[in-house]
Structure 1
Amino acid sequence: MHGETARRARPRRRVSAASRDLMPSTLEGQITMEKTPSYFVTNHAPKRIHSMARDIKLIIVVRNPVTRAISDYTQTLSKKPEIPTFEVLAFKNRTLGLIDASWSALRIGIYALHLESWMQYFPLAQMHFVSGERLIVDPAGEMGKVQDFLGLKRIVTDKHFYFNKTKGFPCLKKPEDSSTPRCLGKSKGRTHPRIDPDVIRRLHKFYKPFNMMFYQMTGQNFEWELGEDSGPRGSPD
């Protein structure tokens, strides 16, 4: 999951030196964008961003929280192969079925909880939610919606993407030249470890009420309950 911020040129407000350094000046006719996966789940981020630019536009990329958690674990496992199994980390008590929601890999996927913090400072009209699943199967369609949200002409279209079967997600290309298409690095799209199907089932049950709440809050049905297979590939995030 990523959080992105975008703003058009506008009169400067008084902000901290640190904020100015992190968000460069925007010239007339430009949109400045900045992204990081941690914004959406960081408690103090909404207030700080609001104090810097309250008219900012927010883009949030989300995916099935179960798949997201497994992808998160896969990335960590590649760096720390000695960590416990996913099944061990996911439960406070597996016998009793108690999910450990304090584990960051699982807590991040409680999207409704994080969105509540953002809605204290920003109206929903300033937020755009991108489906991670649809971004893989229809990248041009999702990018079209992003461009509409930002008030941009639809420049990025189908001709800018091709599906990489090896990685399992789209790669970006420039149709006007013959350069090698740009795909994400080797650290992306890793094969997920096999997770006990019972654990996946329990996690879907755990997330379901939070997902329903998120759908209501955003006015979008991401249909995560329809695809309860975690899939063999990691996320391109």
Structure 2
Amino acid sequence: MYGSIWCHNLNLSSRNLAIALVVCVTLVYFSYSFNACILASISRSLQESTLSNLLMLQVRNDSDTVATVATAASTAIDVVATNASANGVSTATNLSTTASTIDFSAGLASVDGAPKYQMLRQQGLRPSRHLPDTLIIGVKKSGTRALLEFIRLHPDVRAAGSEVHFFDRHYQRGLRWYRHHMPYTIEGQITMEKTPSYFVTKEVPQRVYHMNTATKLLIVVRDPVTRAISDYTQAASKKADMKRFEQLAFVNGSYSVVDTNWGPVKIGVYARFLEHWLLYFPLSQLLFISGERLIMDPAYEIGRVQDFLGLKRVVTEKHFYFNATKGFPCLFKSEARSTPHCLGKTKGRNHPHIDTNAIDRLREFYRPFNNKFYQLTGINFAWP
């Protein structure tokens, strides 16, 4: 009897032992898996942290490289600028040469991953910023924006998108600041900038000359009476309570005396401003574009510009179409857009009605100045 009970207890103990063993193995397995996950997570976090630190260190190194090279470039430019001031005209050209050829794009290349620059570098080309070779210096409301957009269709022309106003407003910031506002170019491309107020600002010709005596200058002109009305129209669109054109263009409301101090009238005396530019630049470095013909036959004027800049005639009549509603040429495509479009709602804006007597008086006023301008340029624009 006791033997039977003992055997029964023995079997029960063995079963319990087996169950306990299975439970222990299960617990050990789950514990191991849980700890393994924690360790893997910690390891992954440490690796990511290390990689992040390495990347940050590399970026800092790249930034330091750019800053170092940029500082060296700025120092070199300042040295040449000092020499130019000390030595005068003989050193002025070197200022542009040094400022244009010092290249700190090597530092930029390490942090600029833009596909187009990677592709250029693969081809052995290194994009960099340069001081402009060509300036569109004026004249305001004569078609300077149209000229810029049209010539930018050429693949060898790169231009600053907005008016930089370096030579008239920001000259004290220096050439390094100016160059920073220029687009990246590769060898063989022309750098261009447009600011119409350069033409009428007294200090600008000398400042441009000191930057580069070989700068090519583009000047768009149109009938000064029409230009003055366009100038007024733009200003009036921004100021609801502006006086009538006739009140501003003449002294005391009488058509007998033209107010030559009023900006829209003053700018149209082209000969006076041109004479100042000719003190520093020969006529061969200036190209005059007819604002009227730029509207009626843009391909013709852009062809002249391409010849003047030594470019192959790539931009032709196939790039333009005429918008009869706006009375202005538009583009089938441009540097920024691949679809047909016009330059903007301000182009081809309707002018207000101006008293014909006021227009006749202004034409009489401008006639001797126009004739002087024709003599200086060797071009008869045939304005009324």
TM-score (norm. length: structure 1): 0.85
1:101-120 to structure 2, matched below 5 A, reads: 101-120=260-279
Closer, same or farther: CA 143–79 of 1 in aligned 2, 3 Å: same
Q: Give the structure 2 partner of residue 80 of structure 1.
A: 239
Q: Give the structure 2 partner of residue 168 of structure 1.
A: 327
1:1-237 to structure 2, matched below 5 A, reads: 1-2=139-140, 18-23=174-179, 24=182, 27-95=186-254, 97-174=256-333, 179-225=338-384
Q: Which one has more relative contact order, counting CA pairs under 8 Å at least 6 apart?
A: 1
Secondary structure of the residue that 1:99 maps to in structure 2?
A: coil
Give the drift of 1:205: 0.3
**Distance in 2 (alpha carbons) for counterparts of 1:187 and 1:96:** 29
**Distance in 1 (alpha carbons) for counterparts of 2:186 and 2:343:** 30
Q: Give the structure 2 partner of residue 12 of structure 1.
A: none
Secondary structure of the residue that 2:289 maps to in structure 1?
A: strand
Give the drift of 1:96: 6.2
Structure 2, unaligned runs of 5 or more = 1-138, 149-156, 158-170
**Distance in 1 (alpha carbons) for counterparts of 2:176 and 2:325:** 41
**Distance in 2 (alpha carbons) for counterparts of 1:35 and 1:21:** 16
Secondary structure of the residue that 1:192 maps to in structure 2?
A: coil
Give the drift of 1:28: 2.7
Q: Which structure has the highest strand share of the two?
A: 1
Q: Which amino acid aligns with 1:222?
A: F
Secondary structure of the residue that 2:329 maps to in structure 1?
A: strand
Structure number with greater Rg is 2
**Distance in 1 (alpha carbons) for counterparts of 2:218 and 2:185:** 18
Q: Which amino acid aligns with 2:252?
A: N
Give the drift of 1:92: 1.1
Q: Give the structure 1 partner of residue 54 of structure 2.
A: none
Q: Which amino acid aligns with 2:248?
A: L
**Distance in 2 (alpha carbons) for counterparts of 1:166 and 1:22:** 39
TM-score (norm. length: structure 2): 0.53
**Distance in 1 (alpha carbons) for counterparts of 2:186 and 2:278:** 28
Give the drift of 1:186: 1.4
Spell out, residue by residue over 1:11-54, the C-alpha distance to the aligned partner (whole angstroms, 9 max, x if none).
Answer: xxxx9862232244765312100001111111111011111011
**Distance in 1 (alpha carbons) for counterparts of 2:349 and 2:255:** 31
Secondary structure of the residue that 2:251 maps to in structure 1?
A: strand
**Distance in 1 (alpha carbons) for counterparts of 2:310 and 2:276:** 26
Spell out, residue by residue over 1:188-208, the C-alpha distance to the aligned partner (whole angstroms, 9 max, x if none).
Answer: 221100000000000000000
Give the drift of 1:118: 0.4
Spell out, residue by residue over 1:50-88, the C-alpha distance to the aligned partner (whole angstroms, 9 max, x if none).
Answer: 110110000000000000000000000100020110000
**Distance in 2 (alpha carbons) for counterparts of 1:89 and 1:193:** 14
Structure 1, unaligned runs of 5 or more = 9-14, 226-237
Q: Which amino acid aligns with 2:174?
A: A
Q: Which runs of 4+ in 1 moved over 6 A?
A: none
The 8 Å contact of residues 200 and 267 in structure 2, kept in 1 or not, is answered as yes
Spell out, residue by residue over 1:158-180, the C-alpha distance to the aligned partner (whole angstroms, 9 max, x if none).
Answer: 000000111111011239xx943
Closer, same or farther: CA 179–198 of 1 in aligned 2, 3 Å: same
Q: Give the structure 1 partner of residue 56 of structure 2.
A: none
Spell out, residue by residue over 1:112-164, the C-alpha distance to the aligned partner (whole angstroms, 9 max, x if none).
Answer: 01101100110000000000000011100000000000000000000000001
The 8 Å contact of residues 168 and 189 in structure 1, kept in 2 or not, is answered as yes
**Distance in 2 (alpha carbons) for counterparts of 1:173 and 1:95:** 47
What RMSD over aligned residues (CA atoms) do the two structures have, in Å?
2.4
**Distance in 2 (alpha carbons) for counterparts of 1:98 and 1:17:** 41
Deviates more, 1:92-101 or 1:152-161: 92-101
